[in-house]
Amino acid sequence: MTKQSQKQIINWGIMGLGSIAHKFATDLLTVEGANLYAVASRSAEKANAFSTKFKANKAYSSYEALVKDKTIDAVYIATPHALHKENTLLCLEHGIAVLCEKPFAMNATEVSEMLAVAKEKNVLLMEALWTYFLPHYQYVLKALNTKMFGDIKKVEADFGFYRAFNNDARLFNKSLGGGSLLDIGIYPIFVALSTLGLPENISAHATYFDNGADASCDMMFTYPKEAKAFLKSTLLEDTPTQAIFYCERGTIKINTMFHQPSTVTLISEDKEETIHFGYETIGYNFEVIHFNTLLREGKTESDVMTFQFSEQLIALLDDVRGLINLKY
């Protein structure tokens, strides 16, 4: 029995203290049996301010100091994409369970290395693709798997918002994995993979900013039985950011901001119904609850966000990058 499996309280650390870390910490505080124990930033000022805001026990000005704290059971990694592999391996080498923000890493090679070390060290590792754990998304998966409206014929999923270009911002920094595909394109691709599986064929077209980061990407995945997924990511305009599943006998639509707490509309020939899920948090608590359960049970891999799923997801991202000639 591992030390975590005996614990009622899981002591969390957070590595990287940007906007997502603030949202994650907000929801972490709502989870019974979870304690925000330590936070780390390369800026002592930032670490201290974050620690004060969220009442963490410790604030560290280096990631190395964080992983040496033996009180920590799990670390949430919210650093820029390009640092995910390095930061994850640092935690795993110290025997600390890791919940790493999406995308898991920059490419499939990096993900394979992370998974290999996790298996070697026998330490829990999971990609933090929070959408998978949200009740509305689980509801839709169940509706599709039980063929509420028959087989899926077509999927449409988009994610777009406008941001004025800023060459100094992480979002547009190609060396950090910035651009539309890795940052938000992963969500429409996740929708297709989690509902239709791996495609038989992919086509993709992208536009670019002057610095080489991708500004938008349009993709089409083709599947057996003529099913298709039309996917889009863009930093050039606000889009509906919906996920729509056109089935044989009706349509299932995850409404605006499908990737976060949302509503689901069921549309059939004679009826339209919108389902509300009573969300009271930002939505990050659901993946934390799942991760804490895995940790207490001594598991080293999620049965929802599996290693195989993360490998397939990053492989699809790599395939799209190859088609649009995007190199980091």
Give the CATH number for residue 42.
Answer: 3.40.50.720
Q: Does residue 79 sit in the same domain as residue 166?
A: no
Residue 243 has pLDDT above 90, yes or no: yes
In a domain, 320, yes or no: no
- Supply the mean pLDDT for the chain: 96
Q: What percent of the chain has pLDDT over 90?
A: 96
**pLDDT tens per residue across span 46-92:** 999 999 999 999 999 999 999 999 999 999 999 999 999 999 999 99
In a domain, 326, yes or no: no
Contact (Cβ atoms closer than 8 angstroms) between residue 188 and residue 195: no
Residue 224 has pLDDT above 60, yes or no: yes
Identify the burial level of 63 via C-beta atoms within 10 angstroms of its C-beta, where 0-12 means exposed, 13-18 middle and 19 or more buried. buried
Residues linked to residue 274 through DSSP beta bridges, in sequence order: 265
pLDDT of residue 229: 98
Q: 19: helix, coil or strand?
A: helix
**pLDDT tens per residue across span 3-38:** 555 578 999 999 999 999 999 999 999 999 999 999
**pLDDT tens per residue across span 104-155:** 999 999 999 999 999 999 999 999 999 999 999 999 999 999 999 999 999 9
pLDDT of residue 328: 87
Residues linked to residue 156 through DSSP beta bridges, in sequence order: 230, 244
Q: Does residue 172 sit in the same domain as residue 254?
A: yes
CA distance 13 to 204: 38
Residues in the chain: 328
Residues linked to residue 57 through DSSP beta bridges, in sequence order: none
What is the total count of domains within the chain? 2
In a domain, 103, yes or no: yes
pLDDT of residue 1: 39
pLDDT of residue 178: 94
Mean local confidence (pLDDT), 233-240: 98
Q: Does residue 190 sit in the same domain as residue 76?
A: no
Q: Which region, left, alpha or beta, applies to residue 141 given φ > 0 means left and ψ of -120 to 50 means alpha? A: alpha
Q: Does residue 114 sit in the same domain as residue 227?
A: no
Residue 301 has pLDDT above 70, yes or no: yes
What residue numbers bound the domain in which 112 lies? 4-129+284-300
CA distance 117 to 289: 24
If one counts every other C-beta atom within 10 angstroms of the C-beta of residue 19, the result is 9
C-alpha angle with apex 154: 149 to 156, nearest 5 degrees?
Answer: 115
pLDDT of residue 225: 86
CATH code for the domain of 220: 3.30.360.10
In a domain, 319, yes or no: no
Q: What share of the chain is helix, strand, coil (3-state, %, to 5)?
A: 40, 25, 35
